[in-house]
């Protein structure tokens, strides 16, 4: 069987942590990158780096790829702010583009040469249903929409080398950040649940399951696709976060 070595950004909490645990349970050797090191129960190796820093990110990726033959990437890390466009700070824009979009380019540039040598690779980007439109999310939605464009462009480039690239666009998921802003039992949270056809907030495991599908060796004929995993919340074309 092929050895699976998978790099996950933003791996210590929420969706990233769920992906790490799911893929590790399926035999992947997991390498996590995050702003801070995880607890001792993390199912793999971990590196701490400030992903808003392009050079620091490049340095840690160089260290990882010189040590591990990475053949899988889950570009999960995300950064979002909540500002109306007229008040939007351009330094914040730079950080959101770096973390949500440029960092994805960096991981792929670092890992794809080895994937091409192996003739195999799986790349999954974590997007968001907010690309369908939402207020006060200028940088976040622009960057995440960019991920959708990248999967289609890179599919043309990478598919001949046995490398697939797809994305998963979550709806409202009960991460720590989401729950902090939408406490259980709050009017705001209940209003969001009421707009989800499935009738509940998503679980991080829901997203990890979709990621595992795209990461499987059996899905070699699936590339350039974006899968909304949102309980149906995006059916009306409006984001709920």
What is the per-residue pLDDT across 127-185, written as a single tens digit (0 to 9) for each?
Answer: 988 777 666 666 678 888 889 899 999 999 999 999 999 999 999 998 887 888 888 98
Mean pLDDT of the chain: 90
Q: Which residues are catalytic?
A: 140
Which domains can be identified in the chain, with CATH numbers? 5-229 (3.40.50.720)
Per-residue tokens: 241: 């976060």
Q: What pLDDT, in 10s, does the model give residues 28-53? A: 999 999 999 988 899 999 999 999 89
Lowest mean per-residue pLDDT among 4-13, 52-61, 90-99, 113-122? 90-99
Angle at 174 between CA 173 and CA 176, to 5 degrees: 120
Whether 59 shows a pLDDT value over 50: the answer reads yes
Lowest mean per-residue pLDDT among 99-103, 111-115, 132-136, 173-177? 132-136
The closest alpha carbon to 134, from 96, 84, 193, 94, belongs to 84
């Amino acid at each position: 069987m092929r050895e699976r070595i998978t790099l996950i950004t933003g791996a210590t909490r929420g969706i990233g942590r769920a992906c790490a645990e799911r893929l590790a349970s399926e035999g992947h050797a997991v390498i996590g990158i995050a702003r801070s090191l995880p607890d001792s129960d993390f199912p793999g190796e971990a590196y701490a780096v400030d992903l808003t820093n392009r050079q620091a990110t490049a340095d840690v990726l160089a260290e990882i790829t010189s040590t591990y033959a990475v053949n899988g990437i889950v570009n999960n890390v995300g950064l979002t702010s909540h500002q109306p466009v007229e008040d939007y700070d351009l330094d914040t824009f730079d950080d959101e583009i770096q973390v949500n979009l440029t960092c994805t380019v960096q991981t792929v540039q670092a890992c794809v040469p080895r994937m091409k040598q192996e003739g195999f690779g799986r790349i999954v980007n974590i997007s968001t249903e907010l690309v369908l439109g939402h207020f006060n999310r200028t940088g976040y939605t622009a960057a995440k929409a960019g991920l959708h464009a990248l999967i289609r462009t890179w599919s043309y480039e990478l598919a001949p080398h046995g490398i697939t690239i797809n994305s998963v666009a979550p709806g409202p998921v009960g991460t720590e950040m989401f729950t902090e802003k939408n406490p259980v039992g709050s009017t705001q949270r209940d209003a969001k649940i009421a707009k989800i056809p499935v009738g509940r907030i998503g679980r991080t495991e829901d997203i990890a399951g979709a990621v595992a599908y795209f990461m499987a060796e059996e899905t070699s004929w699936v590339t350039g696709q974006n899968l909304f995993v949102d309980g149906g919340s995006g059916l009306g074309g409006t984001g709920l976060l």
